[in-house]
Amino acid sequence: MEYAVQLIQYYLRKNFINSLRLVTYGIRDGRSIAVDEWLDEYTSYPSKSEQLKIIRFLKMINERIDTQIKIIIEYESYLNKFKEQVLISFSNNLTLTIGDVCSISTGKLDANAMKENGKYRFYTCAENYYFIDEYAFDTEALLISGNGANVGYIHYYKGKFNAYQRTYVLSDFKVNPLILKLNLNVSLKERIEEQKNTGNTPYIKLDTISKMKIFLLNKDDEYKIIKTINLIEQKIENEKKILELLKKQKSFLLDNLFI
């Protein structure tokens, strides 16, 4: 039944709108539909055998999309467990704080300073970065969302960029920034939950980040762990691209099933 409903939805999405165009008159806000003419319009629809084939196809492609989503979830779960295991294995090395191994500042701009066709990346507290015409930083950095729904979200970037005033910018690293990012990924969420300030907009203070203890690794362990994480993250990105292609394929095929 679920796929039969989808069949009707996609069929109406295209054919219903097209039928309305034929009986819509006027311009702009004055446009109206001639209901009597619309009710007299003829429309075509697939035969029962064709409907069954379409429904089977919908079921097949939706199951493939569901499988792809499960694959991504499994890899993400594995990555999180791997990072947690690293923390457990090296928990005795918690001797320094983040403030000891890098400088911490914030951006200076409002979130609406973004420019659609800007030249440089502009980091706000969103998961995605935007663009802007001028840069304020030219460095290797970790950028942490300081407020809002994505509080604690972490970006890594090396190059010229700018940042929102509630985005924390970590730079001038004395340790490998990717190991620092691993520390943050594992421990920051819990620390935020313990210390974050609530109100209309949740936010974190500088001390939440600067006083967080971190573990350090020797060069051999560091290389192996970073390499493993990079491989898993790349695999996740590839699987997400496959998912997007499947969704686009589904949309394209459904649009062309009803002509």
CB atoms within 10 A of CB 151: 21
Distance of alpha carbon 147 from alpha carbon 203, whole angstroms: 4
Q: What is the pLDDT of residue 215?
A: 84
Tens digits of per-residue pLDDT, 204-220? 889 999 999 888 888 88
Closest CA to 240 of 123, 60, 74, 6: 74
Name the pLDDT band for 24 (thresholds 50, 70, 90): low
Span 153-166, average pLDDT? 95
Q: What is the pLDDT of residue 2?
A: 56
Which of 247-255's residues contact partners 24+ apart within 8 Å by CB, and which partners?
247/65, 249/61, 250/61, 250/62, 250/65, 253/57, 253/61, 254/10, 254/58, 255/10, 255/14
Distance of alpha carbon 34 from alpha carbon 38, whole angstroms: 6
**Residue 111 per-residue DSSP state:** G
Is residue 175 a contact partner of residue 147, using CB atoms and an 8 Å limit? no
pLDDT(70) > 90: yes
Instruction: Tell me which range, 11-20, 27-36, 71-80, 182-191, is most confidently predicted by mean pLDDT.
Output: 71-80
Q: What is the pLDDT of residue 191?
A: 84
Q: What is the set of domains in the chain, with CATH numbers?
A: 2-87+238-257 (no CATH), 91-216 (3.90.220.20)
Span 89-117, average pLDDT? 88
